[in-house]
């Protein structure tokens, strides 16, 4: 149970997709975005009713005058997801997490480690969010170096091993800014896309944490 006094909420992926649709979320970034589109496109009406029945049994939705209503506190979490302007996607050793930042509220959506196709949703404070990134190693402790000229910088782009953290700023369904922390062997570099340009920067812990704090404090 987190500092809000709420436990985490567990559900199947299809239940999550249906809740997002019921809340009016039209575009989705981060965890399970591709599978959400196929679910909304291919699922029959009978299957949707089955998913609704499962949500009702969990207490995530109510029936009100022959209409379905999202119950609290689930509605609070979904509203934060709908209003989120920033998405932070973390991946390490096959484990994936997505954090959604919305006017001071932060929602963690992560895949179950034990059951395939199941998700956990948790509302976090800013302190819990930042601590999670540090403790799970998504913000590397070592700082990196980058190429000094454009030619070598182009070469560096091609040999990145993996992205461990992606920051997306989304506005009206459009991606406005993207910041990616990547490992290249023993080095850690940052790709920063903004204002129709792209920069490759040395990874600096203080700079990345400053960006995160700015996003967390957005109103």
Give CA–CA dist 98/55, Å, rounded: 22
55 pLDDT above the threshold of 90: yes
Q: How is residue 205 written in tokens?
A: 């812990």
The per-residue pLDDT for 24 is: 87
On average, the pLDDT of the chain sits at 78
* Rounded-to-integer distance, Cα 176 and Cα 96, Å: 23
Q: What is the pLDDT of residue 154?
A: 40
In terms of pLDDT, which residue wins out, 36 or 61? Answer: 61
Per-residue pLDDT at 26: 73
Taking only the tens place, the pLDDT of each residue in 121-158 is: 999 988 888 888 888 878 877 665 544 334 344 434 43
Per the CB < 8 A criterion, the answer to whether 216 and 125 are in contact is: no
Q: Quote the pLDDT of residue 112.
A: 80
- The answer to whether the beta carbons of residues 9 and 75 sit under 8 Å apart is no
Dihedral (Cα; 11, 21, 133, 176), 10-degree rounding: 170
Q: How far apart are the first and last CA of the chain?
A: 26
Mean of pLDDT values over 40-67: 86
Which span out of 6-15, 16-25, 51-60, 174-183 was modeled with the highest average pLDDT? 51-60
As given in the structure block, the two tokens for residue 139 are: 């913000």
């Amino acid at each position: 149970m987190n500092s809000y006094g709420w436990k985490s909420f567990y559900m199947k992926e299809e239940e999550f997709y249906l809740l997002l649709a019921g809340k009016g979320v039209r575009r989705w970034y981060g965890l399970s975005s591709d599978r959400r589109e196929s679910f909304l496109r291919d699922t029959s009406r009978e299957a949707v009713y089955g998913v609704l029945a499962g949500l009702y049994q969990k207490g995530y939705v109510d029936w009100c005058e022959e209409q379905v209503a999202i119950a609290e506190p689930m509605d609070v979490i979904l509203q934060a997801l709908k209003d989120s302007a920033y998405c932070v996607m973390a991946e390490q050793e096959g484990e994936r997490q997505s954090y959604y930042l919305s006017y001071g509220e932060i929602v963690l959506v992560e895949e179950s480690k034990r059951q395939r196709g199941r998700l956990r949703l948790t509302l976090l404070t800013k302190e819990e969010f930042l601590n999670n990134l540090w403790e799970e190693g998504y913000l590397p402790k070592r700082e990196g170096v980058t190429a000094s000229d454009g030619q070598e910088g182009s070469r560096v782009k091609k040999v990145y091993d993996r992205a461990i953290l992606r920051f997306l700023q989304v506005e009206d369904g459009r991606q406005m800014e993207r910041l990616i922390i990547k490992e290249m062997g023993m080095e850690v570099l940052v790709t920063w896309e903004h204002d129709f340009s792209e920069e490759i920067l040395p990874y600096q812990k203080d700079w990345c944490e400053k960006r995160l704090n700015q996003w967390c404090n957005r109103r």
